[in-house]
Amino acid sequence: MSMTNVGNYRWRVCAMLLAATTINYIDRQVLGVLAPFLQQKMGWTELDYSYIVTAFQAAYAIGLLSAGAVIDRFGTRIGYALAIGIWSLAAMAHSLASGVTSFAVARFVLGLGESGNFPAAVKAVAEWFPQRERALAAGIFNSGSNVGAVVAPLVVPFVAFRWGWQSAFLFTGVLSALWVTGWLLTYRTPDRQPKLSAAERAYIDEEPSAAAVRIPWSQLLRYRQAWAMVAAKFITDPIWWFFLFWLPKFLHDQYGLTLMGLGMPLISIFMLADVGSIAGGWFAGRLIKRGWTVNRARKGAMLTCALMVIPVAFAAKANNLWLAVALIGLATAGHQGWSANVYTLASDMFPRRAVASVVGMGGFAGAVGGMLIATVVGLLLQYTGSYVPVFLMAGSAYLVALVVIHMLVPRLEPARLDGAGMRQ
């Protein structure tokens, strides 16, 4: 079938998923961008702020346990709208918050809603794309996480400075509500979408995938390969959460940046993260094409990314703003390159029918790790006032994780799901 005659309605669906993921990351970053201002205005201690962040992380972890089942129960159209409707209301509820408890409640509900984004988007891709295009479609909508991380420091300070901090939360909540409206008006599965051409419907259906079989986590946890994924996410995801929620505070505390002055440094850092996200996956693929084994190429790429993060240990002592930005930007690039390879570990070691479950386990572990580091960072800053220990942890986490992964799966051997017990 000629691609020119197929049609492209499915890519409109992908564009909506990209927009939703972008809004998802803007919503979660509003608090981080406004944190220096709100901490002064509300009189929060470092522990107070860490409790608010922990509330989001706890809800996100809880949500990941059930979001997939909810999406499956109600279908992609209603399930996705329900998730974003919840986080839209929660985002706007922040504008009514006046203390630690009310902010924590708003963040908790936001975390519950936002946990549904990726399960729903992945399901929509499975409904609308043939197998050979699903990786590309997923990569496109997932790039919204980096787009949102760049857009938030660009838009949020301007809105808050012009109309007040409450307006920043209202603005992103309204964006989410508008998306939900458009989604409910336009989204249907391919067999129920009247605007879809017969040729494109046939193209989508020409590669039917095997029926999905849910594999219990209790079964997967018998395998060392699953524990490698869990360990990788538990140890390193918290570093990314630290970057998302504490960088604006660090730049304000260390260099005296105002709300309007945070934009360019944060944008520069997350633009470098974009580069790392693409380069990390490309580098491993390049090594494989040159004849390296998957084990050697994957771990070689991950080692390279881990080494890129090490210099961030010196960021807290950088005597120049842009030196700190460069060190942190290099670390975020390393993290995103690392993450690209960690996600691929699941498909390296497990059959397709288990990949989603393994990734879900890893996501849950990463959210729990993020919840723990929020409290640890709050305690360290409350009692030492120094970011040095935090950046030391960040600089060393990836090498530690790589050692753990190598100990668990020294050769990245595929798991045989028909057996029992711990396997290599």
pLDDT digits (tens, 9 = 90+) for 192-236: 888 888 888 888 887 655 445 567 888 889 999 999 999 999 999
Residue 208 lies in a domain: no
User: Do 195 and 261 belong to one domain?
Assistant: no
User: Do 66 and 162 belong to one domain?
Assistant: yes
> CATH no. for residue 32?
1.20.1250.20
* Average pLDDT, integer, range 340-363: 81
Range of the domain at 37: 7-203
User: Do 97 and 132 belong to one domain?
Assistant: yes
Q: Which residues contact 198 (CB under 8 A, 6 or more apart)?
A: none
pLDDT digits (tens, 9 = 90+) for 370-380: 999 999 999 99
User: Do 423 and 375 belong to one domain?
Assistant: yes
Residue 1 lies in a domain: no
CA distance 175 to 20: 9
Question: Of 147, 177, 203, which marks where a domain is finished?
Answer: 203
User: Do 275 and 254 belong to one domain?
Assistant: yes
CA distance 419 to 424: 12
pLDDT digits (tens, 9 = 90+) for 166-184: 999 999 999 999 999 999 9
User: Do 173 and 226 belong to one domain?
Assistant: no
User: Do 171 and 292 belong to one domain?
Assistant: no
Answer whether residue 105 shows pLDDT above 70.
yes
Tokens of 114: 């936002």
pLDDT digits (tens, 9 = 90+) for 16-57: 999 999 999 999 899 999 999 999 999 999 999 999 999 999
User: Do 253 and 394 belong to one domain?
Assistant: yes
User: Do 238 and 332 belong to one domain?
Assistant: yes
Q: Which of 244, 328, 18, 245 is nearest to 147 (CA)?
A: 18
Residue 192 lies in a domain: yes
* Range with lowest mean pLDDT among 7-16, 212-221, 385-394: 212-221
Stronger pLDDT, 307 or 5, i.e. the higher one: 307
pLDDT digits (tens, 9 = 90+) for 54-87: 999 999 999 888 887 788 788 889 999 999 999 9
CA distance 96 to 157: 19
pLDDT digits (tens, 9 = 90+) for 256-293: 998 889 999 999 999 998 888 878 878 888 898 899 99
Instruction: Return mean pLDDT, the chain.
Output: 89
Residue 60 lies in a domain: yes
The pLDDT of residue 363 is 87
Residue 220 lies in a domain: yes
Residue 299 lies in a domain: yes
CA atoms lying within 13 Å on the CB side of residue 110: 32
Residue 383 lies in a domain: yes
User: Do 395 and 308 belong to one domain?
Assistant: yes
Question: Of 170, 203, 236, which marks where a domain is finished?
Answer: 203
* Average pLDDT, integer, range 306-329: 97
The pTM (predicted TM-score) of the whole model is: 0.84
Give me the number of domains the chain comprises: 2
User: Do 234 and 367 belong to one domain?
Assistant: yes
User: Do 284 and 250 belong to one domain?
Assistant: yes
Fill in the amino acid letter for 54.
T
Residue 209 lies in a domain: no
Question: Of 203, 238, 270, which marks where a domain is finished?
Answer: 203
